[in-house]
């Protein structure tokens, strides 16, 4: 069975879109950029949109041969919502619509390609295992600003518009190198765990929390490691809030460097994360 209970079945969940002129795929509801729909990626912005149910081609205008996005909102955005809007615009900047080409539905959201029995079996097995993950249950209990929480969720899902991610989506970039260290390609794994400047931030954070060391660089395990057995669950939620705020602070610093010629400063990044919790 491809469908259970009237909802979208596993087969439908694996379908995506190859974008042409934006005439078929729904802007918010369909998977046409990356491997998750924008409604799930930006739930707050979706709730504010006046364009729910519209295709990509109804979300902007052609000016000669150039496509320009024109998103409509129910009201002005709050400061933290404007940050989400900037992230959305960064994501959209890598999209190239083709005026004379229709949208085409394709198999495979992660890497669109040809359907095969083996690929279908792999997807069916994945869905059979379920998508429940303890780390997300812990994440949604953290008390931080919504935009900070969404950033951490996007990191776990691999949905942040890092340079490598944008390049894989077809965006032409001058470089995919990390703007902090200028040594390795910018992926979520590198930016938040492996970059030498990120490691400097964590080296300040861990002793402040009371954690002696973390033996791994896996993002989810690193998050779960912000747990002390000798303190209450309430305090451990605060420590996980520290982790989430550090992630957001690193991302903000990365954007400051990328778009406003900012300077790398690991101490400032950590202090910003502390202040976000009111712990400075």
On whether both 138 and 92 belong to a single domain, the answer is no
On whether both 165 and 270 belong to a single domain, the answer is yes
Q: Is residue 126 part of a domain?
A: no
Helices (H), the chain: 10-13, 38-41, 43-48, 79-92, 117-129, 134-139, 146-157, 163-168, 188-189, 196-209, 219-224, 233-260, 266-276
On whether both 138 and 264 belong to a single domain, the answer is yes
Q: Is residue 119 part of a domain?
A: no
On whether both 57 and 164 belong to a single domain, the answer is no
On whether both 140 and 270 belong to a single domain, the answer is yes
Task: Name, in order, each residue with C-beta under 8 angstroms of 272's C-beta and a sequence gap of 6 or more.
Answer: 245, 249, 252, 253
Using the predicted structure, report yes or no on whether residue 45 has a pLDDT greater than 50.
Answer: yes
Using the predicted structure, report yes or no on whether residue 265 has a pLDDT greater than 80.
Answer: yes
Q: Is residue 111 part of a domain?
A: no
On whether both 154 and 72 belong to a single domain, the answer is no
On whether both 176 and 225 belong to a single domain, the answer is yes
Q: φ, ψ for residue 186 (rounded to 5)?
A: -90, 100
On whether both 38 and 141 belong to a single domain, the answer is no
Considering its fold, how many domains does the chain have in total? 2
pTM equals 0.56
211-224 pLDDT tens trace = 766 666 789 888 98
Domain enclosing residue 59, as ranges: 10-104
Q: Is residue 211 part of a domain?
A: yes
pLDDT attached to residue 188: 92
Using the predicted structure, report yes or no on whether residue 117 has a pLDDT greater than 60.
Answer: no
Q: Is residue 129 part of a domain?
A: no
Q: What is the DSSP letter of 88?
A: H
Using the predicted structure, report yes or no on whether residue 130 has a pLDDT greater than 70.
Answer: no
- Proportion of the chain above pLDDT 90, given as a percent: 24
* Per-chain mean pLDDT for the chain: 79
For the segment 198-215, the average pLDDT, to the nearest whole number, is: 83
Q: Is residue 267 part of a domain?
A: yes
On whether both 93 and 42 belong to a single domain, the answer is yes
Q: What is the DSSP letter of 56?
A: G
On whether both 221 and 148 belong to a single domain, the answer is yes
On whether both 194 and 253 belong to a single domain, the answer is yes
pLDDT attached to residue 202: 92
pLDDT attached to residue 52: 93
d(CA 276, CA 242): 9
Count of CB atoms within 10 A of residue 113's CB?
10
Q: How far is C-alpha 93 from the chain's CA centre?
A: 15
Least confident among 107-116, 142-151, 244-253, 271-280: 107-116
On whether both 170 and 95 belong to a single domain, the answer is no
Q: Is residue 99 part of a domain?
A: yes
């Amino acid at each position: 069975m491809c469908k259970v209970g009237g909802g979208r079945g596993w087969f439908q969940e694996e379908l995506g879109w190859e974008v042409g002129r934006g005439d078929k795929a729904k802007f918010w509801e369909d998977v046409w950029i990356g491997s998750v729909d924008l409604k799930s990626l930006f739930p707050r912005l979706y709730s504010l949109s006046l364009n729910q149910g519209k295709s990509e081609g109804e979300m902007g205008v052609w000016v000669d041969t150039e496509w320009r996005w024109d998103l409509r909102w129910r009201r002005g955005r709050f400061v933290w919502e404007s940050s989400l809007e900037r992230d959305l615009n960064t994501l959209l900047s890598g999209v190239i619509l083709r005026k004379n080409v229709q949208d085409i539905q394709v198999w495979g959201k992660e890497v669109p390609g040809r359907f095969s029995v083996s690929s279908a079996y792999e997807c069916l097995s994945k869905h059979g295992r379920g998508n429940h993950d303890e780390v997300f249950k812990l994440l949604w209990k953290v008390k931080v600003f919504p935009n900070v929480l969404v950033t951490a969720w996007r990191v776990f899902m691999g949905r942040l518009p890092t340079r490598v991610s944008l390049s894989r989506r077809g965006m032409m970039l001058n470089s995919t190198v990390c703007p902090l260290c200028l040594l390795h390609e910018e992926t979520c794994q590198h930016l938040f765990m492996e970059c030498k400047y990120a490691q400097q931030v964590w080296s300040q954070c861990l002793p402040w929390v009371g954690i002696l060391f973390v033996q791994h660089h896996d993002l989810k395990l690193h998050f779960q490691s912000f747990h002390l057995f000798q303190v209450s669950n309430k305090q451990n939620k605060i420590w996980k809030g520290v982790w989430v705020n550090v992630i957001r602070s690193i991302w903000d610093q990365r954007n400051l460097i990328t778009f406003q010629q900012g300077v790398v400063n690991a101490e400032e990044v950590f202090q910003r994360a502390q202040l976000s919790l009111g712990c400075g």
